Structure 1
Amino acid sequence: MNAPGGGWARLVCLAAILLSGIPAADAAEDGGTRSIFASGAGNRALAMGGAFVGVADDASAMIWNAGGLGRLQRLELQATHSGYVDLESREDYLSVVLPSWRWGAAGLSVRRFGIDGIESRDDGNLLLNDKLSDSETEIALGFGRPVSEGLSVGGAVKLQRQSLAGFSGTGLGADLGVWAQPYALLRSPPEWMERLSWGISVRNVAQPSVRLDRESVRDPSVVRTGIAYQQPSLGGRPALLALDLEKSPGVGAKVHAGLEVRIHPLLAIRTGWNHGRLAAGMAVAWRDFVVDYAFGAGEVSTVHRVGISRSLGRTVEQQREAAARAREADIQATLEDAFQKRQAEQLENLLGQVKAAQADSDFDKALEVLATIGILYPGQPEARTLEALCHREKGRQLEANADYAAAAAAYGRALAIAPDDTAAVAGRLRCRAESERRVARGVNLPRHSPAASDTVAEDSPETDPGPAEARGTAMGKGFPKKGAGTPERRVEAESRRAATPAPERPRLSPEREREIEKLYAAGLAAMSERRLDDALRYWELAWSMEPGYKRLAEYLKREYLIRGMEFFASGKLDEAMGYWQKALQVDPNDARAASYIARARTQQARTREIMSGGR
């Protein structure tokens, strides 16, 4: 545990290092060449004595340290008006910063200083005009972006314009800035360093030059560096301490120090030391709206500034999450379309096999394929129509071979699907009548050997299919009533078998989460490029590390289901059930996977029974 006052001692040490990093200079003045805008803007920063380079966390960051723009989380607006008590002067400031999770933060600032009542005199000190005015305007466009955790860079380009007594001139300049948190750059930093930040900025790295009459006057460069420290408790209240050093060519180093104490969530007070002059201020906040006041003791006059700031819209993190959701929705729609397309192609292929078998009068094969369609696509209308046609045509085939009992049963199955099929009605009546005549004459009827296509439903030749029997078709719905070995019970058993509780997993580390996100994104990219095997491999690796990550389970389950359906359609029941079992491991409550497995097991059992001759 740190000793009391350890944080303060470190802060003093860092301040000493900072002071030693700027060479001493004499106290020569700048000769009046430095622009009025070099004093900064923003009531919060000015109330803290101009010590803001290491803070730079609001819309005035573009003035003090453009590197801090990348820290802003929401759209922010600042506006300030100030006046000098003893002078007929005014100063206005407006700044807007719009952060984006994708690109960084862009900002615009407008500053204007004006003074009236300037006298014009001749060489003999005779008053010529006492109503001259001077105005200076600076318009800046800035941009900042975080380049890593704890490091942000930025810059601004600006236009300065001055008008005085009928003369005017314009100059262009540029600023640069860097903001950083040292702890993010170290491998194992101490806890107190997490509350420390540092910044450096160069105002006028490209110096604007304004010419009013004969000579151009440059706005000299200003280098500022500073630190800021978030003190969790200062007298029981959270506080912010800041220290800046400022250096211009030919001018001695200037010290700026500031303190902000938040005495209530709605109220903050500030004070600062602006190179020998006192500064102070306060802020009253209500939700996203803040009213700021700043007082500054100037060399000529005291300055009172009143301003407002407002934060609007979503945070950068909320923007990022919304964009991720939108991207996820687009990917989901793409995957859903691909899934539906694969299903449609598979169904079309199976229906094509049925029609080809019908054309070859191989109705047993056609009914076998229809049984597969019935399991994978229950209730498919075209398959139902083809099934009725197959049963009817098989009945005619059996009738032509004088197997009247089996033919009547086939006609009955056709009528169970299409009760209005007059050809099936007539065929069944013919076959029953002929069967009865043969029985009456003592003719032995041919013994019908069931084919695999007859395993789904077995109708007695003497019994019309009722509502229950009508469901016993090759569409995969003709199972016995619910009992110990029925598909319904098997569905329940498969679900219970897959629903073993997973052990509780430890919380993911940031490195682990980044690794999972990389695999997840790689799977999405592979799926969008139709590299299905690669996508499945990436997602399986991610699922093994964190099963509940985003929509990973949904994507895996869907891919397992469709792959199982493809194998089942090809007659590879074991491979199909393997993928459906994987789908149940991902989602033990998925009724479709459990139903597919149960029906596939039933079909396997009946096929084995047929192949063994009923023994």
Structure 2
Amino acid sequence: MDGIKKSAAFLVALTTASLIVPVSAGAYFERMHASSRTLSMGGAFVAVASDPSAAIVNPAGLAQCRTFSFLTSLNEPYGLSDLEESYFAVALPAKIGIVGLSWHRFSLEGVSSEDLFSLAFGRDYIRTSLDASLSFGGSIDVARISYSDRFDASEAIVTGSLGVLLRPFPIIGVGYSVRNLGQDSFDFIPGGGGTPLKVQHNWGIAYHWQRVSFVYERERGQDRGWRNRMGLEVRLPTGLRIRSGLNRGDVTGGVGLLLSGLNVDIGVSSHDVLGTSYMISVGYSLPHKGAVVEPKR
């Protein structure tokens, strides 16, 4: 009886995985959520990238992390207890720029896991006294796929990303990133041709007006199609942040609280078929006496 129950549970988990993570070439490392703030703003963050999650969103944005910062997130996609998404990142200022370290994990208990380890770097090429800036960045990433139990297979490849962030005025941000450079592939079945990790492009524009930010982003995913993302953030004087967005038809939203460098954020994403996802993030940045890069964060 136990064997039947385990087999049934395995089939349910496998079916769930097939619904959430397609087996096509674009299956791996595509719909990653690094923070509740990004999730609640529809995933549109490439033109903002103002926290340690820039390591995988747009490494050029690390240049905005002027002091030691860290971010950690936990997500239970679609309310399924067997699915878990987690993220941890840290930004470390150095003489040559800002170094970022991050680890993203997406797992289906007892079936599979995806791990992305990133060593990123961001640096200002130009920054004026009026806080106009041009920043560049890049990362080296190790992407690892593991199948457990009955599959018992794993493989890792090395890839990379590049990014640029332009702030011609404090109220405008323009960002671009390209991920999965090299287009290596996971080949779990020798001679089967493998599953390539195709190049992914994201570009976007952000407009910050007083206590409101609007972000629009275009993404070219691994299926080679272009998709729209957009997000809105309202920053209240009390430190409360209210956010909403759209991502591939998913409606998103959330709230955040910023107090003395500590931020706690909750994000929600609603899918018509799969249901609702909830994500919580906690981050901290040491105080910085310089210019504020993103107005009234």
The TM-score bracket by the shorter chain reads 0.7 to 0.9
User: Partner of 2:83 in structure 1?
Assistant: 89
Give the Cα separation in 2 of the matches to 1:251 and 1:155. 22
Q: 2:134 aligns with which of 142, 146, 151?
A: 151
The answer to whether the Cα contact below 8 Å between 1:168 and 1:211 also exists between their aligned partners in 2 is no
Mark the structure with the bigger radius of gyration: 1
CA-CA distance at 1:285 after TM superposition: 2.0
Instruction: Give 1:31 shift.
Output: 2.8
Shift of 1:49: 0.3
Q: Deviations over 1:264-314 (max 9, x none)?
A: 3321011011121101111112211111101112452321111100112x5
Q: Is the 8 A contact 2:25 2:223 kept in 1?
A: no
Q: Which has the higher helix share?
A: 1
User: Structure 2 counterpart of 1:147, which letter?
Assistant: Y
* Deviation by residue 1:221-247 (Cα, 9 ceiling, x = unmatched): 111110001111xxxxx1111000011
Distance 1:198 1:87 in 2: 38
Partner of 1:303: 277
| Matching residue of 1:111 | 104
C-alpha RMSD of matched pairs (Å): 2.0
Cα separation, 2, equivalents of 1:289 and 1:311? 7
Q: Is the CA contact 1:270–1:280 (under 8 Å) kept in the aligned structure 2?
A: yes
Amino acid at match of 2:277: V
Structure-2 residue corresponding to 1:168 = 154
Identical columns (%): 29
1:65 is matched with which residue? 58
Match of 1:197 in 2: 173
Query: 2:289, 2:97 → 1: CA distance?
Result: 9
Residue matched to 1:179 = 165
Contact 2:30 2:221 in 1 (8 A): no
TM-score by length of 2: 0.81
Aligned to 1:267: 240
What does 1:187-226 correspond to in 2, within 5 Å?
194-214=170-190, 215=192, 216-226=194-204
Q: Could you say which residue in structure 1 is the equivalent of 2:93?
A: 99
TM-fit CA distance, 1:199: 0.6
Contact 1:290–1:308 (CA<8 Å) still a contact in 2? yes
Q: Is the 8 A contact 2:26 2:222 kept in 1?
A: no
CA contact (8 A) 2:115 2:143 kept: yes
Give, as a single letter, the amino acid of the residue that structure 1 aligns with 2:226. A
Residue of structure 1 in register with 2:111 after alignment = 133
Cα distance, 1:87 vs structure 2: 5.3
What is the distance in 2 between the residues matched to 1:311 and 1:87? 31
Rounded to whole Å, the distance in 2 between the matches of 1:57 and 1:273 is 20
> What does residue 379 of structure 1 align with?
none
Alignment-derived partner of residue 50 in structure 1: 43
SS at match of 1:264: coil
**8 Å CA contact 1:54, 1:228 repeated in 2:** yes
Q: For 2:215, which of 219, 242, 249 is the aligned residue?
A: 242
Matches within 5 A, 1:80-479: 80-84=73-77, 85-86=79-80, 88-100=82-94, 102-116=95-109, 132-149=110-127, 150-164=133-147, 165-183=151-169, 194-214=170-190, 215=192, 216-232=194-210, 238-248=211-221, 250-298=223-271, 300-312=274-286, 315=288, 317=290
Q: What SS does structure 1 have at the residue aligned with 2:48?
A: coil
Q: 2-side partners of 1:208 and 1:42: how far apart?
A: 27
Any idea what SS the aligned residue of 2:111 has? strand
Q: Is the 8 A contact 1:151 1:181 kept in 2?
A: yes
Match of 2:13 in 1: none
Conserved in 2, the CA contact under 8 Å of 1:143 and 1:154?
Answer: yes
Contact 1:68 1:144 in 2 (8 A): yes
Determine the C-alpha separation between the residues in 2 that align with 1:289 and 1:107.
19
Higher share in strand: 2
List structure 1 runs of 4+ shifted beyond 4 angstroms.
none
Distance of 2:222 and 2:83 partners within structure 1: 28
Check whether the contact 1:172–1:209 (CA below 8 A) recurs between aligned residues.
no
For residue 250 of structure 1, report the CA deviation from its aligned partner: 4.3
Q: Deviations over 1:483-509 (max 9, x none)?
A: xxxxxxxxxxxxxxxxxxxxxxxxxxx
Distance 1:229 1:44 in 2: 16
Contact 1:171 1:208 in 2 (8 A): yes
Trace 1:530-541 onto structure 2 (pairs within 5 A): none
Alpha-carbon distance in 2 for matches of 1:272, 1:107: 27
Partner SS, residue 242 of structure 2: strand
Give me the whole-angstrom Cα distance separating, in 1, the residues matched to 2:23 and 2:206.
28
Residues of 1 paired with 2:290 and 2:263: CA distance? 22
Unaligned 5+ runs, structure 1? 1-28, 117-131, 184-193, 233-237, 319-615
Conservation of the 8 A alpha-carbon contact between 2:213 and 2:234: yes
Alignment partners' CA distance in 1, 2:96 and 2:204: 26
Offset of residue 113 of structure 1: 1.1
Does residue 1:75 correspond to 2:55, yes or no?
no
Q: Deviations 1:521-564 (Å, cap 9, x if unpaired)? A: xxxxxxxxxxxxxxxxxxxxxxxxxxxxxxxxxxxxxxxxxxxx
Cα distance in 2 between the residues matched to 1:202 and 1:151 = 17
Which residue type is aligned with residue 306 of structure 1? I
Residue 30 of structure 1: how far off its partner (Å): 8.8
Q: How many aligned residue pairs are there? A: 258
Q: Residue 197 of structure 2 contacts residue 222 of structure 2 at CA under 8 Å; is this kept in 1?
A: no
Following TM superposition, by how much is the alpha carbon of 1:52 offset from its aligned partner in structure 2, in angstroms? 0.7
Asked which structure has the greater RCO (Cα within 8 Å, sep 6+), the reply is: 2
Q: Point out where structure 2 has 5 or more consecutive residues left out of the alignment.
A: 1-21, 128-132, 292-297
Paired with 2:275 and 2:183, the residues of 1 have a C-alpha distance of 28
